[in-house]
Amino acid sequence: MPHLFDPLPMGGLTLRNRIGLSPMCQYSAVEGVPNDWHQVHLGRFAAAGLGVIFTEATHVTRDGRITPGCLGLWTDEQGEGLARILRSIRSVDPEVKLGIQLAHSGRKGSADLPWKGGHPLKDHTAWETVAPSALPHDEGWPTPRALDAGELPGLVEAFVASAKRALAAGFEVMELHGAHGYLIHTFLSPISNHRSDAYGGTREKRMRFPLEVASAVRKVWPKDKTFGLRLSGQDYLDGGMTVDDTVAFAKELKGIGVDFFDISGGGIWPSKLKVKVGPGYQTPSAERVKAEVGLPTFTVGMILDGGQADEIVQSGKADAVLVGRGHLREPFWVWRAAEALGAKHFCPPQYLRAGERPGANVPRTVLATKG
Ligand SMILES: Cc1cc2nc3c(=O)[nH]c(=O)nc-3n(C[C@H](O)[C@H](O)[C@H](O)COP(=O)(O)O)c2cc1C
């Protein structure tokens, strides 16, 4: 029997299955406000029967965006835009859990849209970026301004204010972006954090700001919902963060009441990355975090089909999978996984006849409006 479609309790709520839409920036907002693109893009997943839909990285300040097209949650208008999209998804699928990823880009901010090259902006639209230390993200990137310790409480407050707006908008799953070389990750990694004050130096000191953010958000995020972090399990760089560091940080996070982890990888100094990319290449990091910390743990990164995903869950390497690019290509990834595994999946009544399609290798009865 497959386990991929088993429910997953996480904090105060339960996902209906172990498949999620990974957060994916769309670079299509105007002043951080979602629009028709976001409605159409996220709406494509309303009938998919996912356990959780994560919206893209949503930034807590204007200067904390990656690109001028990134979503934000520093105004009520942005929150109302997201609330409208959530209401429409729930009207199709009342059971799917809706998740947000709150982020600050740090030294990876002020970048152009990926389809325009994704390089640091050089014209009048560029803005000053900030980081724990005045060290650029990679070759060709500007040197960020090192944050003064006195500025950090303001950033914590920005995360808290955005978390409150996310709650008001109707999100149930809150994830902080602590991976991929953005602000929180740059505090954790010894490569990007060369501070000599209370926020750098030892591993404990590098964890301090990320823990301050997580503790403050935990306090405002209700226990009957769920709260976690995406972390880069490892930097894949000599002298970078290792899985030991991630496990140590995850244990601290467990101590402050975090409910789940979402383990990705990399993001610091991409041009020097030492990693062999292939199916499930990041799952070993998630496996260590799950085994050593003992909280529900997602894995992400080239999870290509239901069989692979079910093997990960069955063998206990991770509790759930997040699928990114596969979902962009195929919003009904979950249906194909269910058909391959002989499992039931959600299907809105309007689509029930899809089970009659010629060549479907499952009888129509496996389709269920709940499951
Ligand atoms: C278009 C695109 C946008 C992404 N944006 C984000 C993001 O906002 N936050 C994040 O943590 N990861 C982001 N990612 C990474 C994905 O969430 C995912 O971890 C990665 O693509 C690996 O999973 P996959 O092999 O299933 O695509 C993005 C990836 C893509 C392709």
- Answer positive or negative: Cα dihedral of 356, 357, 363, 366: negative
Give domain limits for the chain.
Answer: 8-368
CA-to-CA distance for 181 and 13, rounded, in angstroms? 30
pLDDT tens readout for residues 104-129: 999 999 999 999 999 999 999 999 99
DSSP string, 145-205: EEPPGGGHHHHHHHHHHHHHHHHHHT--EEEEEE-TTSHHHHHH-TTT----STTSSSHHH
Just list the catalytic residues.
182
- Is a pLDDT exceeding 70 seen at residue 362? no
Residue list, ligand 1 pocket, CB within 6 Å: 22-25, 56-57, 101, 177, 179-180, 230, 264, 300-303, 323-326
Q: Which residue CA neighbors atom 15 of ligand 1 most closely? A: 24
pLDDT tens readout for residues 144-184: 999 999 999 999 999 999 999 999 999 999 999 999 999 99
Question: Considering the domain 8-368 in this protein, what is its CATH number?
Answer: 3.20.20.70
CA-to-CA distance for 255 and 318, rounded, in angstroms? 20
The pLDDT of residue 244 is 98
The pLDDT of residue 358 is 60
The pLDDT of residue 355 is 77
Q: Return mean pLDDT, the chain.
A: 95
CA of 47 to the centre of ligand 1 (A): 21
The pLDDT of residue 353 is 86
CA of 25 to the centre of ligand 1 (A): 7
Q: Which residue CA neighbors atom 23 of ligand 1 most closely? A: 301
Supply the DSSP symbol for 19.
E
CA of 80 to the centre of ligand 1 (A): 24
CA-to-CA distance for 365 and 367, rounded, in angstroms? 5
Ligand 1 atom nearest residue 56's Cα: 8
Share of the chain above pLDDT 70, in %: 96
> pTM for the complete prediction?
0.96
